[in-house]
């Protein structure tokens, strides 16, 4: 039997660290070194607080902190209290540890990128970056659907200035599409679904385990199915087609923002929220009884395959990576939708595996642009010979996206394939194999051109070198970690496996 949650102030301090950091960054805008120093201090503080919770969660404890109560509920109407509250459990730790660590790395990378290109409004950039992490960590540590929704919306609003950073027609158009897609789906689908879930179940608190969920087992099948569809599509940050188009459009932002969008905060907020609601609101038993699992797996498989095909057609490196993200995110939802222990494990572990590998790829894209001002893959022939660290890191992260050993993505594919076999779904197995071939088809040419292609510029060796160490060191670190967590996946797997009750 699970022990009751422990009241723990560290949860509040964890979300306050990036919020206060944003304030200090804004106040020290005229002193760049101090400004970046505050960003670094906030990121280190957040990671230290998150890391300090690891022993407790690994020991089976669940931490809780109620910030304030909005309503005490109504016994006559069988409605429970509504509160803004936080929790730390195994699922939240997978996301929180990844995001807080990668923020530290990104602080160094961003300084090298933004200063290297002499970007304007660097104070606003760093402030919004910290606020985005405030929202992301709030989502990770949300104890109920209301709190999750609040922080989900905070992420949307705070990242808009980052997407529209360049303040030209293209960036404003991309930012408008970004904000429209994400806020319209949240308000039009999640908000009414949340109200209905509260009426049906009497509360919005996430369940203590993934088997039962919070909805009554005798709830109307069609009502539950509609609410489920609203949640799957409403968290549009998860990149599921047809609500994915905001993601490629957001590529007008600076590369550190793209890394934030695709690896650390925004899309992970989307898939994490989707997984949290699937498992802790609807629950495995109800999803299985109402046959919601396998249809969801096939539905997101369309995104996996089609986004990969579109990626093949893109010559712009960031655009190819953007559609790769659209495809890869659906692996997470597919694994959970299989409703088998192996599949759920594969889906959840990909939150961390994808984060470290995809941020490496975007870091590399940014380093290439700063060093050479080249954006298109067709222009990158021979660059691997003068930028070996950057393209070596890109090659390792590409192997992870493909799912090849010994990099992190192999762990994901292994569990997903086992989950598909446990579900006796030949169709899903074929989709995983086809998508792996497509992954190879759009990543391998980049690496081949870089190391073996004939340079279009005959003086390439004299013109280009590696980007500033402030950029190359972070991308090397994340690439190495992608290999380490592929060889030794036990750290994240201890939390992933703790999500699964013994009865499943």
Task: Provide DSSP, 238-307.
Answer: G--TTTTTHHHHGGGS-HHHHHIIIIISHHHHHHHHHHHHIIIIIHHHHHHHTT-HHHHHHHHHHHHHHH
CA–CA distance, 322 with 362 (Å, rounded to integer): 9
Torsion angle of C-alpha atoms 426, 278, 344, 350, degrees rounded to 10: 100
Distance from the first to the final alpha carbon of the chain: 15
Tell me how far the alpha carbon of residue 174 is from its chain's centroid.
20
pLDDT for position 108: 83
Residue 172 vs residue 435, higher pLDDT: 435
Report residue 1's pLDDT band, with 50, 70 and 90 as the boundaries: very low
CA–CA distance, 129 with 114 (Å, rounded to integer): 13
CA–CA distance, 241 with 304 (Å, rounded to integer): 9
Beta pairing partners, 74: 79
Cβ density class 395-427: b for 16+ within 10 Å, e for less: bbbbbbbbbbeebbbbbbbbbbbbbbbebebee
CA–CA distance, 109 with 464 (Å, rounded to integer): 19
pLDDT for position 460: 57
Three-state DSSP class for residue 405: coil
pLDDT, tens only, 468-486: 888 899 999 999 999 999 9
Report residue 449's pLDDT band, with 50, 70 and 90 as the boundaries: very high
Between strands 63-71 and 6-7, the pairing is parallel
pLDDT for position 177: 76
Q: 114, 254 in Cβ contact below 8 A?
A: yes
pTM of the model: 0.92
Three-state DSSP class for residue 376: strand
Q: Which of 264-278, 324-338, 350-364, 414-428 has the lowest mean pLDDT?
A: 264-278
Q: How many CB atoms lie within 10 A of CB 43?
A: 26
CA–CA distance, 295 with 193 (Å, rounded to integer): 20
pLDDT for position 126: 80
Q: How many CB atoms lie within 10 A of CB 276?
A: 23
Please give the C-alpha separations between residue 307 and each of 151, 341, 403, in angstroms, as whole numbers.
28, 27, 17
pLDDT for position 78: 77
To the nearest 10 degrees (0 to 180), the angle between helices 408-422 and 341-372 is 150
Average pLDDT over residues 83-100: 95
Tell me how far the alpha carbon of residue 88 is from its chain's centroid.
18
Average pLDDT over residues 204-215: 92
pLDDT at 264 over 90: no
Mean pLDDT of all residues in the chain? 88
Q: 339, 423 in Cβ contact below 8 A?
A: yes
Between strands 63-71 and 82-88, the pairing is antiparallel
Q: Which of 163-167, 263-267, 360-364, 424-428 has the lowest mean pLDDT?
A: 163-167
**DSSP strand E in 46-203: where?**
63-71, 82-88
pLDDT for position 107: 84
Strand order in the sheet with 6-7: 6-7, 63-71, 82-88
CA–CA distance, 207 with 217 (Å, rounded to integer): 14
To the nearest 10 degrees (0 to 180), the angle between helices 408-422 and 469-487 is 40
- Percent of the chain having pLDDT more than 70? 89
Q: 313, 476 in Cβ contact below 8 A?
A: no
pLDDT at 311 over 90: yes
Which 8-state DSSP code applies to residue 457? S
Q: 261, 238 in Cβ contact below 8 A?
A: no
Q: Which of 68-77, 387-396, 431-440 has the lowest mean pLDDT?
A: 68-77
Q: Spell out the residues 6+ positions from residue 76 whose beta carbon is closer than 8 angstroms to its own.
A: none
Report residue 37's pLDDT band, with 50, 70 and 90 as the boundaries: confident
Q: Spell out the residues 6+ positions from residue 499 whose beta carbon is closer than 8 angstroms to its own.
A: 89, 90, 91, 210, 279, 344, 348
Q: 250, 163 in Cβ contact below 8 A?
A: yes
313 burial class (0-12, 13-18, 19+ CB within 10 angstroms)? exposed
H/E run at residue 158: helix 145-163
pLDDT for position 463: 76
Average pLDDT over residues 48-77: 89
pLDDT for position 284: 94
Q: How many CB atoms lie within 10 A of CB 437?
A: 10
H/E run at residue 7: strand 6-7
pLDDT at 44 over 80: yes
20 burial class (0-12, 13-18, 19+ CB within 10 angstroms)? middle
Q: Give the number of C-alpha atoms closer than 13 A to the C-alpha of residue 403, restricted to the C-beta side.
A: 22
Per-domain residue ranges for the chain?
A: 303-504
- Percent of the chain having pLDDT more than 90? 62
CA–CA distance, 47 with 37 (Å, rounded to integer): 15
pLDDT for position 119: 59
Average pLDDT over residues 34-44: 88
CA nearest to 139, candidates 149, 125, 130:
149
């Amino acid at each position: 039997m699970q022990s009751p949650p422990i009241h723990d102030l560290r949860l509040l301090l964890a979300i306050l660290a990036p919020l206060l950091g944003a304030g200090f960054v804004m106040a020290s805008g005229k002193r760049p070194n101090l400004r970046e120093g505050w960003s670094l201090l906030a990121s280190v503080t957040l990671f230290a607080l998150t890391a300090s919770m690891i022993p407790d969660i690994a020991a089976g404890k669940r931490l809780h902190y109620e910030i304030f109560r909005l309503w005490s509920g109504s016994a006559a109407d069988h409605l429970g209290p509504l509160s803004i509250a936080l929790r730390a459990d195994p699922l939240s730790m997978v996301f929180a540890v990844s995001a807080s660590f990668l923020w530290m790395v990104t602080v160094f990378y961003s300084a090298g990128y933004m200063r290297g290109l002499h970007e304007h409004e660097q104070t606003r950039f760093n402030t919004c970056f910290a606020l985005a992490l405030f929202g992301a960590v709030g989502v990770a540590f949300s104890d109920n659907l209301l709190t999750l929704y609040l922080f989900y919306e905070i992420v949307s609003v705070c990242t808009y200035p980052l997407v529209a950073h360049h303040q030209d027609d293209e960036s404003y158009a991309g930012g408008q599409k970004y904000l429209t897609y994400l806020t319209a789906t949240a308000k039009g689908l999640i908000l009414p679904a949340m109200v209905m879930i509260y009426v049906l179940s009497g509360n919005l608190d996430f369940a203590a385990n993934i088997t039962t969920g919070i909805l009554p087992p005798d709830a109307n099948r069609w009502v539950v199915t509609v609410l489920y569809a609203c949640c799957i599509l409403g968290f549009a940050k998860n990149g599921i087609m047809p609500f994915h188009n905001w993601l490629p459009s957001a590529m007008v932002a600076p590369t550190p923002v793209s890394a934030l969008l695709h690896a650390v905060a925004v899309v992970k907020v989307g898939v994490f929220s989707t997984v949290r609601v699937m498992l802790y609101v609807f629950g495995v038993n109800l999803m299985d009884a109402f046959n919601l699992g396998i249809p969801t797996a096939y539905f997101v498989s369309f995104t996996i395959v089609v986004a990969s095909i579109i990626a093949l057609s893109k010559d712009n490196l960031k655009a190819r990576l953007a559609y790769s993200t659209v495809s890869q995110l659906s692996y997470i939802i597919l694994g959970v939708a299989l409703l088998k222990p192996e599949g759920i494990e594969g889906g959840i572990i990909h939150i961390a595996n994808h984060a470290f590998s995809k941020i490496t790829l975007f870091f590399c894209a940014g380093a290439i642009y700063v060093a050479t001002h080249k954006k298109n893959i067709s222009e990158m022939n021979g660059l691997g010979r003068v930028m070996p660290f950057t393209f070596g890191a890109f090659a390792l992260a590409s192997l992870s996206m493909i799912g090849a050993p010994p990099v992190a993505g192999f762990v994901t594919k292994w569990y997903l394939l086992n989950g598909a076999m446990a579900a006796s779904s030949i169709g899903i197995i074929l989709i995983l194999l086809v998508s792996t071939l497509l992954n190879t088809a759009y990543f391998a040419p980049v690496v081949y051109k870089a190391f073996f292609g004939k340079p279009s510029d005959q003086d390439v060796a004299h013109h280009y070198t590696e980007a500033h160490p402030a950029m190359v060191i972070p991308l090397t670190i994340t690439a190495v970690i992608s290999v380490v967590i592929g060889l030794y996946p036990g750290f994240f797997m201890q939390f992933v496996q703790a999500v699964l009750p013994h009865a499943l």
